[in-house]
Amino acid sequence: MGIYPTQGLPGYRPVFLSAGKAMGIWGYDHTAYPLQSQRHPSPTWPMDETSPTISSHSGADQWTHTLGGSWSAAALAQSDAWSRLNRSLAALGPQARAQGEWDLRSLERLDHTGAQLLWTIWGQRWPDGLLTLPAQRAMLDRVARYSVPAPPVRKRRAWQHFLSLGERVFQVVDHGRDLVRLIGNAVAPMR
């Protein structure tokens, strides 16, 4: 048994909760459970086997997309991992993403953030072929059930732009009045 009561339990791993060396706090991440292996990545998430990856191959009649690494909020929040993943997805194009077979079985970790990203990549509909583990399928089903499409972008007319300009002018005046009041309250006790 370690220092913490949950140390050594499956599904728990130490994570660094706060940025900065002097103010670092260690805790336990119990939101994303390992799906296949019990290997736990380091809190810094360098480019290693746990970084989210996608490899796509064009076969005779369809695309095959194989996902690997950790598709969790912590892994996807790393800017270098996100930019690599974004480049891979941009290279595919929308038709290759919507069609073909998606193999998620080699994923090390999948949480709701990764599942939501996949659901968005698929255009909020199931792809033609999907190979998953039962836990992954349950996660994707929950995301599919509770996801809502983004609201349509409304085009603003010139009158709406004019009204928003007036609103901003009133905000600036309001902030200026508050600044004068703040300075007055700070100077008043000095008299």
Give the Cα separation of 71 and 107 in Å (integer): 7
Band (133; pLDDT cuts 50, 70, 90): very high
H or E stretch at 110: strand 107-110
Instruction: Say whether pTM exceeds 0.85.
Output: no
Extended strands (E) in 2-71: 13-16, 26-29, 53-58, 63-71
Kindly tell me if the per-residue pLDDT of 90 is higher than 80. Answer: yes
* Residues listed for the chain: 191
Q: Read off the tokens for 139.
A: 């996660």
Give the Cα separation of 113 and 21 in Å (integer): 27
Q: Where in the chain is the domain with CATH 3.30.750?
A: 33-146
Averaged pLDDT, 89-101: 78
CATH 1.10.3470 fits 33-146, yes or no: no
Share of the chain above pLDDT 90, in %: 31
Give the Cα separation of 135 and 164 in Å (integer): 48
The H-assigned helical ranges of 58-105 are 73-76, 79-92, 94-98
H or E stretch at 134: helix 134-146
**Residue 144: what pLDDT?**
92
Band (140; pLDDT cuts 50, 70, 90): very high
How does pLDDT run across 3-38, given as a tens digit for each residue? 444 444 444 444 444 444 433 334 444 444 444 443
